[in-house]
Amino acid sequence: MSIAITTQFICFTVLSLVVIIGALGVVLLESIVYSAFLLGGVFMSVAGLYLLLNASFVAAAQVLVYVGAVNVLIIFAIMLVNKKEDLKPIDDIKSRRVISTSICLTLLSLLIRVDLTNVWSLSSPQNSIGEESTIRIGEHLFSDYLLPFEVASVLLLMAMIGAIVLARRDVMSKDISTGLPVDQELIEKSSEPLLTNKN
Amino acid sequence: MEYGLDLEYSFNEFLKGFGLSSEIAHIIWLPLPMLLVLVAAVVGVLVTVWLERKISAAAQQRIGPEYAGALGVLQPIADGLKLLVKEDIIPAKADGVLFTAGPILVLVPVILSWLIVPFGQNLLISNVGIGIFLWIALSSIQPIGLLMSGYASNNKYSLLGGLRAAAQSISYEIPLALSVLAIVLMTNSLSTVDIVNQQSGAGILSWNIWRQPVGFIVFWICALAECERLPFDLPEAEEELVAGYQTEYAGMKFALFYLGSYINLILSALLVSILYLGGWGFPIPVELIAKFLNLPINAPFIQVFTASIGIVMTVLKAYLLVFIAILLRWTTPRVRIDQLLDLGWKFLLPISLANLLITAGLKLAFPQFFGG
């Protein structure tokens, strides 16, 4: 075995272990903050796996989008509402756990089946494009994948408008759940005047 | 390698002369440029710290450090040694693991980004195809480290500082990436080497700053904001937040933050000089001078000379920008957090978008000036 292949094998083993253990930690850890940080680690290791597959552009995009944007926003949100309070115990927690486990196992079996039936070996390894992949991705995005690309951006736009509507409460005059008129005061505004009026 | 010094090739050939296989020669070669760049980055930090002390002193009509070495040049080393031997304190109620991992996560991406900084045609660690995009991706990891240390300190000032840092770097990353994108559009490549070569045609006249003046200003503002330099040092605003996410840190962990912020400043200055100021290019193309003096461009002596000029030019341009950043720090007041976010989202983002669109239009209209 040459040095390059050995290095690749070691990297692959370490990255896979980090992905699996990290993902288990994300699901099983009690502390939500640890879960969020571990999720970042999992995203990073997935980017590392992309790098091993010679897909450097996808790896960098993975880091930029998932670690730099999604994960930071998740952690940001957790820290903004970081109240130390015990969550209300759910009554039918056992049946819920059974259902979610069975769904996950079904998905896992589906993935295993894909893994076993698919032919993974490339016809010729010379076909890998390596550094040129950025150009190829760009070409595909603006030709045969143009419609999915645009549809995805419309989806993101819809999500953004939805978030703005939810965040700006003055858009709606009534609370959706209770039907009561919405308090349209600013959250930051103090209920008592900070300075006494001297006129 | 058709042009320029190729130290790696010569080094490998040299080792092969001793009967080593090319793989072993490659492994012996690999750590050398990394070590060199690490040392260069740390020395750069020492120089910048000294400059900061001296220039701030001059701005405030003081003398500044003067006893440690001539003109106080040893002062930053004294600072570093002090931090090195200080006690490593982890507050009792802090989260030890995250508290330690935070500074590391801040420093490592910054140092990794030096991978793509070219000091000459072949004088960089790795000419990766995704080049400048790698830096944008890596710099987006930093806020996680800041949030982590802010949270782990178990201190409200730290948490607020961490949150501010994350908000700030998310907002300023977008105009930053858009202004880089305009350059990439003109270059047809993400590689930093290609970006510099595209500016090397007519010396100072072909630098990107003339074709991308708006992009240059947007990039510089965003780079300062990403480095958390004044006027954008909201995350560690002393009057409001003690020292932001660094409040609970001492000793070497604090030094990691300190190093990280200065290495980031130098890196940003280097990248501005690469993207907009012609990188290693001399204001008058070296090839023209060689031709004028009737010197063969491929002679080893000329090659070494050109490479040294390239390194000197890169460092000179970067330190000119560092000087401007330091002057800005000591002469401008801090902006408020709402002004900061307004500037990022309502001013820089539309401007950089318009800049990108105009660049694309100009590229179609004048392909010979804006890269065909």
**Unique residue bearing structure tokens 């079996």:** A109
Contact B248, B155 (CB under 8 A): yes
State the pLDDT confidence band at B1, using cuts at 50, 70 and 90: very low
> For position A110, what pLDDT does the model report?
94
- Are A80 and B138 inside 8 Å of each other by CB? no
- Are A79 and B138 inside 8 Å of each other by CB? no
Q: Say whether pLDDT at B22 is over 80.
A: no
What is the three-class DSSP state of B88? coil
Which of B112, B133, B144, B337 best probes binding to A when mutated, by most A CB atoms within 10 angstroms? Answer: B144
**Taking the alpha carbons of B184, B186, B187, B188 in that order, is the dihedral positive or negative?**
positive
The per-residue pLDDT for range B209-232, each reduced to its tens digit, is 888 889 899 999 998 888 887 777
Cβ burial, residue B337 (10 Å; 0-12/13-18/19+): middle
- Provide the mean pLDDT of chain A: 80
- Are A57 and B128 inside 8 Å of each other by CB? no
Which of A37, A44, A57, A142 best probes binding to B when mutated, by most B CB atoms within 10 angstroms? Answer: A37
State the pLDDT confidence band at A189, using cuts at 50, 70 and 90: very low
The per-residue pLDDT for range B228-258, each reduced to its tens digit, is 877 777 777 777 777 778 888 888 888 888 8
Distance from CA of B87 to the nearest CA of A (A): 27
0.90 surpassed by complex ipTM: no
State the pLDDT confidence band at A127, using cuts at 50, 70 and 90: low
Angle value at C-alpha A100, between A96 and A104, nearest 5 degrees:
170
Region B329-348: what's the mean pLDDT? 85
Cis peptide leading into B350, omega within 30 of 0? no
Distance from CA of A150 to the nearest CA of B (A): 18
pTM value is: 0.82
State the pLDDT confidence band at A191, using cuts at 50, 70 and 90: very low
State the pLDDT confidence band at A46, using cuts at 50, 70 and 90: very high
Q: Say whether pLDDT at B5 is over 60.
A: no
Region A67-89: what's the mean pLDDT? 77
Of B27, B134, B148, the CB nearest to A37: B148
**Which of B235, B244, B236, B248 lies closest to B94, judged by CA?**
B248
Distance from CA of B314 to the nearest CA of A (A): 26
Q: Say whether pLDDT at B3 is over 60.
A: no
Cα separations (Å) of B354 from B177, B218, B348, B349? 13, 12, 10, 9
Region B283-306: what's the mean pLDDT? 74
State the pLDDT confidence band at A112, using cuts at 50, 70 and 90: very high
Region B113-122: what's the mean pLDDT? 82
> For position A53, what pLDDT does the model report?
82
State the pLDDT confidence band at B28, using cuts at 50, 70 and 90: confident
Question: What is the rounded distance in angstroms from the CA atom of residue B124 to the CA atom of residue B196?
Answer: 13
Percentage of chain B beyond pLDDT 70 is 97
The per-residue pLDDT for range B319-329, each reduced to its tens digit, is 999 999 998 88
Q: Say whether pLDDT at A17 is over 90.
A: yes
The per-residue pLDDT for range A136-167, each reduced to its tens digit, is 888 888 888 999 989 999 999 999 898 888 77
> For position A182, what pLDDT does the model report?
61
State the pLDDT confidence band at A195, using cuts at 50, 70 and 90: low
Cα separations (Å) of A19 from A22, A62, A71, B112, B272? 5, 14, 15, 21, 36
The per-residue pLDDT for range B151-181, each reduced to its tens digit, is 888 888 888 888 888 888 888 888 999 999 9
Q: Say whether pLDDT at A51 is over 50.
A: yes
Quick one: closest CA in A to B129, which residue? A131
Lowest model confidence (mean pLDDT) among A79-93, B59-73, B351-365 = A79-93
Distance from CA of B60 to the nearest CA of A (A): 36
Dihedral over alpha carbons B151, B157, B163, B169 (to 10 degrees): -120
State the pLDDT confidence band at A170, using cuts at 50, 70 and 90: low
Show residues of chain A in contact with B167, CB under 8 Å.
76
- Provide the mean pLDDT of chain B: 83
State the pLDDT confidence band at A174, using cuts at 50, 70 and 90: low
State the pLDDT confidence band at A111, using cuts at 50, 70 and 90: very high
Please name the residues in contact with B236: beta carbons below 8 A apart, sequence gap of 6 or more. B161, B228, B243, B244, B245, B246
Q: Say whether pLDDT at A179 is over 90.
A: no
Region B61-77: what's the mean pLDDT? 83
- Are B140 and A132 inside 8 Å of each other by CB? no
Please name the residues in contact with B17: beta carbons below 8 A apart, sequence gap of 6 or more. none
Q: Say whether pLDDT at A101 is over 60.
A: yes
